[in-house]
Amino acid sequence: MGGHFSGYGKVADCSLSGFVPSFPSNQTQLTIPANLDPQFIGLAFGVQNYTCTSSNNFTNVGAIAELIDVSCYVHAPWFDTLQDTLLPAWDELSQSMSIQQVLDFVHFLNPPASLAQHYFVPNPVTQQGLSPKWDFTSSGKFQGNSDAFIVAKGNGTLPSPDDPKKDVAWLEVLNVQGKVAAELFRFDTVGGQPPSSCTFGKDPDISVNYVGKYVFYGGDLN
């Protein structure tokens, strides 16, 4: 993937003016906000976590991922397929390193610029269940800014138009807490789906590698 980045200048803080993510035209679940501009776009790699339920299927219990800032590359000819390039490399790397070790390594490299970390926290409204969080506080221009995050709730979901059995759904989520964005979308996903069935009480929890893009709109810190 390193060769892809050569010749495209610095990483991070490039304008996304005019950028529009490519969503299928025949869907209504993901609606790009007309009154907000895209502020950041991250290429994420990480894991979706699952546990086996009494119905003998896997249910999602969160995720952890690293988002690399790819704002400077949205007009590159290979941008649309960047996730397809990264997943095999991530699969290979994860054979010898845990997701946490990889995150530490990415922070050590910098660049490529670490945009945010994605993980789950207790739901701040109901205090029950988990909510997704994107945390911008540990690196980049928002390092140390305690408001530089978004905790969100789902607003729309679209099965992957490419391979819904293999690739996790595309999402639109809205701000519940934090000031870094008003809403965001997950799209261009590859991987992350669990096996179709499991045996309750026998099969352990699993983590499934995935890659995808996240684009963030609005916010009060930009």
Location of structure tokens 């991250």: 42
Tens of pLDDT along 87-117? 888 888 888 877 777 766 655 544 457 889 9
| Distances, alpha carbon 159 to alpha carbons 23, 44, 166, 187, in Å | 11, 18, 10, 10
Distance CA 215, CA 185 (A): 5
* Sign of CA pseudo-dihedral 213, 217, 221, 222: positive
As a residue count, the chain comes to 222
Is residue 81 classed as helix, strand or coil in its secondary structure?
A: helix
* Sign of CA pseudo-dihedral 145, 79, 153, 91: negative
The first and second tokens of residue 126, run together, are 């109901």
* Neighbouring-strand partners of residue 64: 47
| Phi then psi dihedrals of residue 30, to 5 deg | -110, 115
Tens of pLDDT along 186-205? 999 999 999 999 999 999 99
| pLDDT for position 151 | 97
> Where does 9-57 show beta strands of DSSP type E?
38-52
151: left (phi over 0), alpha (psi -120 to 50) or beta: beta
Query: What global pTM score does this model have?
Result: 0.89
Tens of pLDDT along 139-174? 778 889 999 999 999 999 999 999 999 999 999 999
